[in-house]
């Protein structure tokens, strides 16, 4: 239940930053109705591609794209939260994002989710769950997990 509240807080913050902040990219403008544009805007902010590099905004845009079912965005958002890139490190939130990406059939997200369950990072250690996630990653073509 607290995870859903956390997700709501992220979306509320994102809406405020986009609505009242200076919009700098065409993708960011389209992000309000096209989640693939959120992913593209996030990559631009992450890389400083034509805009000032802004990891915090990139992380928020990756989360928005993730919740719009862009599976690779879940992986990227999870990585930002796992490593504390532009945002406060939050291993539980990272694990949730990785699992969300895995559930959307993105192999690398399955690997990272599996690792977190295997090591008990941000989640209760669960080897059985880790094996399931590694197996799914393998089926999805992430051969390093096979």
> 133 and 117 in contact (C-beta within 8 Å)?
yes
Cα 26 to Cα 86: distance, rounded to the nearest angstrom: 22
- What mean pLDDT do residues 80-86 have? 97
Per-chain mean pLDDT for the chain: 85
Q: What is the CATH number of the domain that holds 62?
A: 1.25.40.10
Cα 66 to Cα 77: distance, rounded to the nearest angstrom: 8
| Confidence band, pLDDT 50/70/90 cuts, at residue 5 | very low
Percent of the chain with pLDDT over 70: 83
pLDDT in tens, 85-106: 999 999 999 999 999 999 999 9
| Confidence band, pLDDT 50/70/90 cuts, at residue 27 | confident
Cα 76 to Cα 123: distance, rounded to the nearest angstrom: 19
pLDDT in tens, 42-63: 999 999 998 999 999 999 999 9
**Total count of domains within the chain:** 1
- What's the half-sphere exposure (Cβ side, CA atoms, 13 Å) at 32? 9
The answer, yes or no, to whether residue 15 has pLDDT greater than 80, is no
Q: Which of 85, 79, 86 is nearest to 113 (CA)?
A: 79
| Confidence band, pLDDT 50/70/90 cuts, at residue 19 | very low
DSSP summary character for residue 90: -
Q: CB-based contacts of 92: which residues, under 8 Å, 6+ apart?
A: 3, 122, 123
Q: Which two tokens stand for residue 95?
A: 């694990």
Q: Which domain covers residue 79, as residue numbers?
A: 2-145
% helix, strand, coil for the chain, step of 5: 70, 0, 30
The length of the chain, given as a count of residues: 146
- What mean pLDDT do residues 18-34 have? 65
Q: Which residue has the tokens 């919740």?
A: 67
Q: Which residue has the tokens 């079912």?
A: 69
């Amino acid at each position: 239940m607290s995870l859903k509240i956390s997700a709501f807080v992220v979306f509320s913050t994102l809406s405020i930053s986009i609505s009242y902040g200076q919009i700098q990219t065409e993708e960011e403008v389209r992000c309000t109705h096209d989640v693939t544009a959120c992913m593209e805007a996030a990559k631009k902010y992450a890389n400083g591609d034509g805009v000032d590099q802004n990891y915090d905004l990139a992380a928020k845009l990756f989360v928005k794209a993730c919740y719009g079912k862009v599976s690779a965005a879940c992986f990227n958002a999870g990585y930002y939260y796992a490593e504390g890139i532009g945002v406060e490190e939050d291993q539980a939130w990272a694990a949730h994002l990785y699992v969300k990406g895995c559930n959307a059939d993105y192999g690398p997200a399955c690997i990272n989710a599996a690792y977190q369950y295997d090591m008990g990072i941000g989640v209760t250690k669960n080897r059985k769950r880790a094996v399931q996630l590694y197996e799914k990653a393998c089926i999805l073509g992430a051969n390093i997990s096979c």
